Structure 1
């Protein structure tokens, strides 16, 4: 018999033994197999134990995909509609999760592992699994197929700039500039679409921060793992079912200011917390970083204005605060399955007081990069030589 067949027959028994306590998954599997009267080889026992751990404590049939090399995302649209992203774009995988009820049960169990509730009364959830994997799941009627699951893998280490250059994520000539931005404490926004590598680039830059500096990161769910000895991560907390106890990004940015930070990092600007970040960067907390969803450096001002409006900031106040707080925008794109740094922009105000981000350099992901005759010399003057 195969491990797959056996785990279906023995899983309930294994689960019951673990729930009663006193045994780990390996011992529970051995006891269940012995009491069932089956004689199993060591290979099948090991596979069964691993399957039991994945079913009880991990992502079940999705665990193998999450542990695959280079996998960043695992997406489930239905029982027979599973996709992965290995850095080359989404690829469908031949995996069946059973029935719509099985997918729903998996989503509910994953939410519970992450300490969250997922049911008809609360059919949408964001959670963090024990291994750091980020979970988003929705149930019917939000998901017509019964349930949809999105899993984002947390990278266990930060890539260096040299590794990013070698992978084609940025031209080698820009590595010195990025180091200079960190060394000279520029306030930097990293923009781009979903899955373009914003967190990867941010972690690489934070790894360049001096070891004597304290970095405080603020995120909805922890993703940043820079190679740095002194990182204090802060993460938001959702309100409970009574609507109490929630802690948002804006609250955490204010908390970060009181924690003696040398660098304040906002994992993603997505709402009113942008006001707190701009104020922090305007009051001596330089060398900060934030990420932002945007289509190009030129549209970053509009995105900042839209987000700041949620905090009640008028447009002219946003322009004044952002121009005084921000120095550079690094914009990432994803094309042909490759993530790369496509634009570097300089933040300024025009003669009419409007906030602008002028592209100083562009790169297509291959070949030489192009520079702007006005903005590039300004970048060199402010942060060069490198």
Structure 2
């Protein structure tokens, strides 16, 4: 399971159905438009968990669910779930069911999916032996349930073949997000190449020289492409600052009176509530914990530690903790201004047409995520954009 899969429940916040609204049908249309300019074939996959049963599986072009068969150890080939996508300049419409999952797309060749005894093995291209390592592909994440549609573009695991997502609402209006600026794909890659500190090492190319993707910095640290000390200087300065001052976290936009107060003592940042009681503590985080929003910045699905951790994670990745003692900082003009920051996220956001992206796990803090949502979706949209 990759980071983005593990985070589907958090990056796509599920709502509660409004019984007064029209019921969301069992499937809705997804219009896929190929503006990539590439001449080869495109393959589409709709993979996920069926919400009514909790079973993992795939959906065909008509939206019919198929449960995965039993897997093995070593993993066994999964059934061919590929749907033929549109040629360049064309569109294809399929139907997507009530799922929490992913829409994958690949260029030129099909993806290689395998099944273990625990279910589907998602592609993990940070692993040199992954069978999908040399395939150009990407994916969107979505949840469709009785309360509506949540559909996002994501770069949590990697920045690769660009695309945008959208939704047509009940009144006929359309919302989209995820488009890069003109030249944005090349712009992100060139920014990483020009950034000192090993950030250019995140870029993976095929033996023929084709650029396939830039790995997220989490996987960069895990594979040694990015030094484990990438965030150490910033963390040290944060630790020094909040040994003698207070970091105030207000994690819920709708609850301005719910505040937590952080102070550093030795190797620990303790957070207290308004009564002065310690509610949770964090050890000094390393780069992996920051880039992955896990490990020493674990964010359980609770009412206290998780919300504080998500806020801290956003502050570290955006490097706003030193300049603003009141978090979260929701002003994009303040993000990524320190010399030590998540340069991957900085580059991606800078090249997005609307500035929105999921460049790390809790990039939705402060509503900076590339997400569309509607309670009465008439149609979902996926647009494959040029690699330029």
Q: TM-score, normalised by structure 2?
A: 0.25
Structure 1-normalised TM-score? 0.25
Higher strand share: 2
Say which structure is richer in helix: 1
